[in-house]
Amino acid sequence: MSSQLSGPGSTAGATDLAGDGNLAGAGNLAGAGNLAVEVSDPATVSSATQHDRPDSSNGLARTIVKSWKAPIAFGIFTLIALVLFIVLGRDGISTFQLSNSNDLIQLPVVETPTRLAGVITTILLAAITVLAWLRVRANRRVPLWLTSIFGVLFLFGFLAWAAAGQTLPVPGLLVGTVSLSVPLIFGAMGGVISERVGVVNVAIEGQLLAGAFASAVVATITGSPYVGLIAAMVAGMLVSFVLAAFAIKYFVDQVIVGVVLNVLVVGLTNFLYSQVLSKNAELLNTPPRFDRIAIPVLSEIPIIGPTLFRQTIVVYLMYIAVAAVYFGLFHTKWGLRVRAVGEHPQAADTVGINVNSTRFRNVLLAGAITGFGGAYFTLVSVPSFNREMTAGLGYIALAAVIFGQWDPIRATLAALLFGFASNLQNVLGIIGSPVPSEFMLMLPYVLTIFAVAGLVGRSRGPAASGRPYIKS
């Protein structure tokens, strides 16, 4: 089928196999379909790119398939809630503290009896599960808002259960979430652009680390964190340049290059750190830090203000970056080209887009964005560079890209979720968590495996991502 669509002699088009499965396999047909829709009708762009149309994985049958995944997943979580909140229920009062002491508008603390909250939450969760089951039985989809409500309820129940007899500082939890998510979100934006244009970016980790290193050194030498930011972008671009050169020019497998680049950057920065930085820490590794800027009025909104509007300039630029990537990808000529090259390079080439140079430039752009995120490590969170200070966050960012289904907004939400999970572990560690911290830390990775395995939703990347384009 696909060879009919893409014509004889195609390399990227007809090379699909079911072995690649959900990630790339069936995307070919759907990808070609998406393109046609996008060109003719820009209004459907966002829905067409989210791959939420039901089609079977072999791309042949287009009948509506009842997906029981959501009700089953809801049921499992409701069972967990039943066991955790009621059977293993804890007694006491859970206190949620909503304001810091120095806030202008003080919200009262919320106190709930732990066991009661657990029971009510479980009943509500069970009701939503039944509702989802009914909807699927009536051949209708489970809407996203229902899933969201389910998630928030479960989270509330869990927090109430975990904080039995304790006080949970909600503003601290949220502020920490944003802080931990910033490099993840920048990395995810880099990953989204790179993968949308057809180059798998496993080197996010390396780009973050290179950005952190370069920004620390340059900001220390020049004494200006802004120059450090630019250096971080250049360093990220350098890593991207190697990735692009090997992947696009020499057709080396992109995953191999990515993994090896990560090792290379770790080795290089470790070597330079031990050999040069640690000997001249005063001269080379004491970068000035960005101060927090509170935005007037907005920063006084309860809960939201301290979380979003008392941050450093890097975070404010992050908001702009996410919005720009979203707008750019789905509402500009640039974005259409990027997605065309990533979905069906043959077709893009036919209409006169230079596939390889488009890929090269956008992979560089992705590196710059990710490197920018790397600067957050040294210019905002910790005042100096350390060995391997990114600690695998690049891989979590990659997970966020996949969990967010290659969509900038969803990837950002996924990154926030991962940041929340690791910060929740920090906070629960302070007040004494009933769950071992390792299991909280494991959560993002387990979620990603579920997402990739298609249990949570259909996760399918750009069709041509990971394949070099060779003109034939």
Partner 1 sequence: MSDTAVAATPQSPSGGSSTPAPAGTPVAPAPRSNQILRDILGGSVVISILAVVLALVAGGILIALTDEDVQTASGYFFSRPGDTLQAIWIAVSGAYSALFQGSVYNFGAVDFAKGIKPLTDTLTFATPLIAAGLGVGLAFRAGMFNIGGQGQMLIAAAAAGWVGYSFPLPYGIHLVLAVLAGIAGGALWGGIVGLLKARTGAHEVIVTIMLNYVAVYLVSYMLRTPGLLQAPGSNNPKTPAMLPTAVYPDLLGSSYNLHAGLLVSVAATVFVWWLLSRSSLGFKFRAVGVNPNAARVAGIDVKRSYVTVMLISGGLVGLAAVAQVLGTVTSGFSSGIDAGIGFDAITVALLGRSRPWGIFVAGILFGAFKAGGFSMQAGEGIPVDIVLVVQSLIVLFIAAPPLVRAVFRLPTPGVTGKKKPVRLAKAVAAK
Residues 221-260 contacting partner 1, CB under 8 A: 242, 246, 250-253, 255-257, 259-260
3-state secondary structure 220-270: HHHCCHHHHHHHHHHHHHHHHHHHHHHHHHCCCCHHHHHHHHHHHHHHHHH
Which listed residue (40, 63, 102, 472) binds partner 1 by CB under 8 A?
Answer: 472
Between 3 and 44, whose beta carbon lies closer to partner 1?
3
3-state DSSP assignment of residue 61: coil
Does 101 contact partner 1 by CB under 8 A? no
Of 177-216, which residues contact partner 1 (CB under 8 A)?
Answer: 202
Shortest CB 258 distance to partner 1, Å:
9
- The encoded tokens of residue 270 equal 């470790």
Among 30, 37, 59, 67, binds partner 1 (CB under 8 A): 59
Residue 351 interacts with partner 1 (CB under 8 A): yes or no: no
Q: Does 395 bind partner 1 (CB under 8 A)?
A: yes
Size of the site for partner 1 (CB under 8 A): 74
Q: Is 332 in the site for partner 1 (CB under 8 A)?
A: no
Selected from 26, 188, 239, 364, the binder of partner 1 by CB under 8 A is 26
Of 362-381, binders to partner 1 (CB under 8 A) are none
Residue 144 is a binding residue for partner 1 (CB under 8 A)? no
Per-residue CA distances from 329 to 190, 222, 469 (Å): 12, 35, 21
Q: Of 272, 193, 181, which is closest to residue 235 (Cα–Cα)?
A: 272
| Residue 307 in contact with partner 1, rule: CB under 8 A | no
Query: Between 19 and 108, whose beta carbon lies closer to partner 1?
Result: 19
Q: Which residue, 152 or 455, has its beta carbon nearer to partner 1?
A: 455
Strand 93-97 with 110-113, pairing? antiparallel
How far is the C-alpha of 172 from the C-alpha of 158, rounded, in Å? 17
Among 54, 165, 267, 434, binds partner 1 (CB under 8 A): 267
Q: For the chain, state the CA radius of gyration.
A: 24
Element holding 283 (H helix, E strand): helix 281-284
Q: In this complex, which beta carbon is closest to partner 1, that of residue 157 or of residue 198?
A: 198
Sequence-distant (6+) residues with CB within 8 A of 16 are 2, 24, 25, 26, 28
Q: Which is nearer to partner 1, 325 or 397 (CB)?
A: 397
C-beta of 290 vs 418, nearer to partner 1: 418
For residue 317, give every residue at least 6 positions away whose Cβ sits within 8 Å of its Cβ, in sequence order, or none.
372
Beta bridge partners of 113: 93
Residue 436 within binding range of partner 1, rule CB under 8 A: yes
Task: Quote the least distance from Cβ 455 to partner 1, whole Å.
Answer: 8
Which tokens hold the place of 320? Answer: 């702009």
The nearer residue to partner 1, 298 or 446, going by C-beta atoms, is 446
Cβ distance 303 to 171 under 8 Å?
Answer: yes
In the block, tokens 């996410």 appear at 322
When asked if residue 442 is in the footprint of partner 1 (CB under 8 A), the reply is yes
